[in-house]
């Protein structure tokens, strides 16, 4: 039954209660030709909204058994035998059984012998009628007829019911549970739709004051959940997400798996001849080959070109001919620093519009792609935990402190920092953690302070610094789960039985 039909039925039921003040679920089930249980379900739905009230009831009915129905149709067993003998003369037991059935014969035979209306010759096993006239009135059949017409057991005295139920087994008592339904507090509202949840929408525009809420039915059976398990990587990812959110970081939108080289490299002041920009390291798209970055961000596009070619703000740039065609090439993003770059550009735009710069903390956790040789610890796609803080006068101390704090929250307090090189950060710092099981220092991230050559063309205030990092998600997760092969963590070889069990992230001794 679809919701439309259900609504129609509800309206009809409400109209009936309006007219009669009271109905029973049994009546409703008969009238609407619907099974009783479904009617009860509908009534319970209306009751939660207090449109109706219901009261649990019980009735007992006396109803005929199969043997009782046989008697109703053909007469009581003894009369059936007597009639046969009268019509066709003495007969063997066997012949009679064939005609009226064994059960009926046995019952009737006993009754006839008791009333001495027949004789039984054991030698020939033949039955003979001993009375002249067969009773014109079949008392038992009459009683069965009465029960069939009126099955209220209170109408029959104890002896009658005992005879019918216990002795003859022609009837039995059935108990029916049902509900008496009356108008409820909200009856006049009719079949209204109730709000099921207090939503932000209701709260934010005062609709909640007028909204009608249904009562929760705490006794209802919950929906069965199709149980699934969180992928290990997702589980670790959720925990990291929590850490950032707790510290007031905002999540960046990471929905561009396909990115233009411009955002992935050029905006980060990564020169176009840089080795990571060739097909050995990066996946280039055949179709659509080019992005439309210049059209969307014409001024910024030119400022980036200028910075690469000639520099500015005290820098001499890279001193080469920057190609807009190269910048427009579509690729699969090689790092989520492309995401940070887009977000920083937006912050700069806002600053330009409002004249106000608001310090911000951002993070993201998502997939990146590299054209790597696959082995036990390298896949062509993996996840990066990216983040940055943009604020006035930030320095290396803030960067290292922030990183230390983050890893401490994950249970890692032995860290080492190593000077490194990235085209877009200065200084740049690689992060190593001590793995207590393998007793080795392993690289778990890279970080730095974004260069002015990256931030100035965006238009951020010159005294705003951005400390930033990119951490690996898989590497520490592998250590945590004691996995040697990255394919056991990511890809089609993952064992689905490995459910969410990462209560502590990793490096816990
Ligand atoms: N993008 C770098 C990487 O992929 C990580 C990084 C992010 C380094 C931000 C510095 C600043 O390894």
CATH number of 93's domain: 1.10.10
- The model's confidence at residue 504, banded by pLDDT at 50, 70 and 90, is very low
From 339, 370, 422, the mutation candidate for ligand 1 (largest count of ligand atoms within 8 A of CB) is: 422
pLDDT at residue 150 tops 90: yes
Mean local confidence (pLDDT), 329-358: 97
The string of pLDDT tens digits covering residues 242-253 is 999 999 999 999
Same-domain check for residues 352 and 442: yes
Same-domain check for residues 110 and 249: no
Same-domain check for residues 140 and 244: no
- The model's confidence at residue 477, banded by pLDDT at 50, 70 and 90, is confident
pLDDT at residue 501 tops 50: no
User: For residues 331 and 257, is the Cβ–Cβ distance under 8 A?
Assistant: no
Residue of 465, 445, 448 whose CA lies nearest to 456: 465
Same-domain check for residues 143 and 244: no
CA of 450 to the centre of ligand 1 (A): 10
pLDDT at residue 496 tops 90: no
Same-domain check for residues 243 and 129: no
pLDDT at residue 34 tops 50: yes
Backbone angles phi, psi at 260, to 5 degrees: -85, 150
**164 within a domain of the structure (yes/no):** no
**267 within a domain of the structure (yes/no):** no
**Higher per-residue pLDDT: 491 or 254:** 254
pLDDT of residue 217: 73
Same-domain check for residues 101 and 245: no
- The model's confidence at residue 498, banded by pLDDT at 50, 70 and 90, is low
Q: Six-digit token pair at 449? A: 């302070």
Q: Six-digit token pair at 42? A: 């509908």
CA of 276 to the centre of ligand 1 (A): 13
DSSP string, 46-70: HHHTTSEEEEEEEEEEEEE-HHHHH
Q: Which CATH number fits the domain that encloses residue 248?
A: 3.30.930.10
From 385, 469, 473, the mutation candidate for ligand 1 (largest count of ligand atoms within 8 A of CB) is: 469
Q: Which residue, 127, 153, 179, sits at the end of a domain? A: 153
Residue of 179, 189, 193, 178 whose CA lies nearest to 18: 189
DSSP string, 464-501: EEEEEEEEESHHHHHHHTT-S-GGGTSSTT--TT--S-
Same-domain check for residues 351 and 493: yes
Cβ neighbours of 9 (radius 10 Å) = 18
The string of pLDDT tens digits covering residues 365-424 is 999 999 988 887 788 999 999 999 999 999 999 999 999 999 888 877 889 999 999 999
pLDDT at residue 214 tops 80: no
Closest ligand 1 atom to Cα of 340: 9
**126 within a domain of the structure (yes/no):** yes
pLDDT at residue 436 tops 80: no
CA of 347 to the centre of ligand 1 (A): 20
Q: What is the pTM of this model?
A: 0.57
From 446, 467, 474, 475, the mutation candidate for ligand 1 (largest count of ligand atoms within 8 A of CB) is: 446
Same-domain check for residues 113 and 253: no
Whether omega before 148 lies within 30 degrees of 0, making that bond cis, reads no
Same-domain check for residues 340 and 447: yes
Mean local confidence (pLDDT), 4-16: 89
**175 within a domain of the structure (yes/no):** no
The protein residue with its alpha carbon nearest to ligand 1, atom 10, reads 447
Q: Which residue, 97, 129, 153, sits at the end of a domain? A: 153
pLDDT of residue 506: 39
pLDDT at residue 500 tops 70: no
pLDDT at residue 507 tops 80: no
pLDDT of residue 427: 97
Assign 346 to helix, strand or coil. Answer: helix
From 282, 430, 470, the mutation candidate for ligand 1 (largest count of ligand atoms within 8 A of CB) is: 470
Residue for token pair 């249970």: 411
Mean local confidence (pLDDT), 63-82: 95
**Higher per-residue pLDDT: 387 or 481:** 387
Whether omega before 427 lies within 30 degrees of 0, making that bond cis, reads yes
- Distance from CA of residue 388 to its chain's centroid? 34
Closest ligand 1 atom to Cα of 336: 1
- The C-alpha atoms of residue 11 and residue 26 are separated, in whole angstroms, by 18
- The model's confidence at residue 437, banded by pLDDT at 50, 70 and 90, is low
Share of residues in the chain with pLDDT > 90 (%): 70
**Continuous H helices in 329-417:** 337-354, 396-409
The string of pLDDT tens digits covering residues 176-213 is 899 999 999 889 888 878 887 888 988 998 888 888 88
- The C-alpha atoms of residue 460 and residue 454 are separated, in whole angstroms, by 10
Backbone angles phi, psi at 409, to 5 degrees: -65, -25
**59 within a domain of the structure (yes/no):** no
Share of residues in the chain with pLDDT > 70 (%): 96
- The C-alpha atoms of residue 370 and residue 139 are separated, in whole angstroms, by 96
The protein residue with its alpha carbon nearest to ligand 1, atom 5, reads 470
Residue of 233, 228, 256, 227 whose CA lies nearest to 491: 233
CA of 4 to the centre of ligand 1 (A): 56
**310 within a domain of the structure (yes/no):** no
Residue for token pair 């998502």: 366
- The C-alpha atoms of residue 301 and residue 293 are separated, in whole angstroms, by 7
- The C-alpha atoms of residue 349 and residue 352 are separated, in whole angstroms, by 5
CA-based torsion, 388, 389, 395, 398: positive or negative: negative
Which residues have CB under 6 Å of ligand 1? Answer: 335, 337, 422, 425, 446-448, 468-470
pLDDT of residue 77: 96
Residue of 351, 329, 442, 336 whose CA lies nearest to 388: 336
Q: Which residue, 153, 186, 211, sits at the end of a domain? A: 153
- The C-alpha atoms of residue 432 and residue 412 are separated, in whole angstroms, by 11
**497 within a domain of the structure (yes/no):** yes
132-136, 434-438, 500-504: the lowest-pLDDT one: 500-504
Q: Six-digit token pair at 86? A: 């009268």
Same-domain check for residues 246 and 362: yes
pLDDT at residue 486 tops 60: yes
Mean local confidence (pLDDT), 34-42: 93
- Distance from CA of residue 24 to its chain's centroid? 36
pLDDT of residue 373: 86
Same-domain check for residues 496 and 369: yes
Domain count, the chain: 2
Q: Six-digit token pair at 277? A: 């920009």
Same-domain check for residues 100 and 245: no
- Residue 475's domain comprises 234-257+333-506
The protein residue with its alpha carbon nearest to ligand 1, atom 9, reads 469
Cβ neighbours of 71 (radius 10 Å) = 28
**220 within a domain of the structure (yes/no):** no
Residue of 409, 498, 213, 86 whose CA lies nearest to 401: 409
pLDDT of residue 40: 94
Q: Compute the C-alpha angle 51/53/54, nearest 5°.
A: 140
């Amino acid at each position: 039954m679809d919701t439309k039909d259900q609504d129609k039925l509800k309206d009809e039921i409400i109209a009936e209660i309006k007219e009669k003040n009271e109905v029973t679920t049994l009546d409703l089930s008969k009238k609407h030709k619907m099974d009783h249980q479904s009617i009860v379900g509908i009534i319970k739905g209306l009751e939660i909204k207090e449109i109706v009230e219901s009261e649990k009831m019980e009735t007992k009915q006396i109803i005929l058994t199969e043997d009782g129905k046989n008697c109703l149709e053909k007469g009581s067993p003894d009369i059936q035998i007597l009639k046969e003998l009268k019509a066709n003369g003495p007969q063997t037991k066997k012949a009679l059984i064939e005609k009226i059935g064994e059960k009926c014969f046995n019952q009737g035979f006993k009754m006839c012998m008791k009333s001495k209306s027949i004789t039984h010759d054991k030698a020939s096993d033949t039955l003979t009628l001993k009375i002249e006239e067969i009773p014109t009135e079949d008392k038992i059949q009459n009683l069965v007829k009465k029960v069939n017409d009126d099955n209220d057991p209170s109408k029959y005295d104890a002896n009658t019911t005992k005879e019918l139920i216990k002795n003859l087994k022609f009837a039995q008592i059935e108990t029916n549970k049902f509900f008496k339904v009356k108008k409820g507090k909200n009856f006049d509202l009719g079949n209204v739709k109730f709000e099921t949840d207090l939503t932000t929408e209701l709260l934010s525009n005062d609709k909640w004051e007028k909204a009608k809420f249904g009562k929760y039915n705490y006794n209802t059976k919950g929906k069965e959940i199709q149980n699934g398990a969180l992928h290990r990587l997702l589980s670790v990812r959720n925990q990291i997400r929590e850490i950032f959110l707790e510290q007031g970081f905002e999540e960046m939108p990471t929905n561009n798996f396909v990115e233009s080289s411009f955002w992935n490299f050029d905006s980060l002041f990564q020169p176009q001849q840089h080795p990571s920009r060739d097909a050995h390291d990066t996946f280039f798209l055949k179709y659509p080959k080019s992005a439309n970055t210049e059209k969307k961000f014409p001024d910024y596009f030119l400022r980036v070109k200028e910075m690469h070619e000639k520099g500015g703000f005290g820098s001499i740039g890279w001193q080469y001919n920057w190609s807009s065609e190269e910048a427009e090439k579509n690729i699969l993003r090689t790092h989520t620093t492309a995401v940070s770059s887009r977000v920083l550009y937006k912050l700069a735009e806002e600053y330009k519009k409002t004249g106000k710069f608001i310090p911000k903390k951002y993070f993201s956790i998502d997939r990146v792609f590299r054209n790597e040789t696959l082995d036990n610890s390298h896949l062509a796609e993996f996840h990066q935990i990216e983040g940055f803080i943009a604020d006035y006068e930030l320095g290396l101390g803030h960067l290292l402190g922030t990183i230390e704090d983050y890893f401490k929250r994950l249970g890692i307090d032995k860290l080492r920092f190593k000077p490194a090189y990235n085209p877009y950060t200065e200084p740049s710092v690689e992060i190593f953690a001590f793995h207590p099981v393998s007793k080795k220092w392993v690289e778990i991230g890279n970080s730095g302070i974004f260069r002015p050559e990256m931030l100035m063309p965006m238009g951020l205030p010159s005294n705003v610094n951005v400390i930033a990092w990119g951490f690996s998600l898989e590497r520490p997760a592998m250590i945590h789960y004691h996995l040697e092969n990255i394919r056991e963590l990511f890809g089609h070889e993952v064992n689905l039985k490995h459910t969410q069990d990462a209560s502590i992230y990793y490096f816990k001794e």
